[in-house]
């Protein structure tokens, strides 16, 4: 058995949970916040049997695509101290960060 921890962007989360549940996977959803863009993320926990692991990963890969987004980054104003003006930068967002762990024992009470 495997434990899949998938961190996805909020905008992908609802569709991913729906697709996973339609395929018969049980999902636990946690609201989280990313450190880089300070944007909302969703962390999903899935316990899957070894033979269903590839199917779960295929669903995650299908739904969570990387894309470009404009974000603001503070830039110091020339000749001043402590004054920052935000300017737009293009960053890649989306996709999924996935951790997979072996599970020795699973108990459902």
Handedness of CA 76, 93, 101, 15 (dihedral sign): positive
The pTM of the full predicted model, rounded to 2 decimals, is 0.74
**For residue 104, what are the contacts with CB-CB under 8 A and spacing of at least 6?**
none
Q: What is the pLDDT of residues 20-61, one digit of tens each?
A: 999 999 999 998 877 655 667 899 999 999 999 999 999 999
51: its two tokens: 């033979």
CATH number of 2-66+93-102: 3.30.70.120
**For residue 32, what are the contacts with CB-CB under 8 A and spacing of at least 6?**
7, 40, 41, 42, 43
Q: What pLDDT is recorded for position 81? A: 62
Q: What pLDDT is recorded for position 52? A: 97
């Amino acid at each position: 058995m495997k434990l899949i921890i998938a961190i996805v962007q909020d905008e992908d989360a609802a569709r991913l949970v729906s697709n996973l549940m339609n395929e018969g996977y049980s999902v636990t959803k946690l609201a989280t916040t990313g450190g880089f863009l300070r944007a909302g993320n969703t962390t999903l926990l899935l316990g899957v049997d070894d033979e269903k692991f590839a199917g779960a990963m295929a669903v995650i890969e299908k739904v969570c695509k990387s894309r470009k987004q404009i974000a603001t980054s503070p830039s110091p104003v020339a000749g001043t101290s402590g004054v920052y003006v935000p300017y737009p930068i293009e960053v890649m967002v989306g996709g999924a960060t996935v951790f997979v762990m072996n599970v020795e024992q699973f108990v459902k009470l």
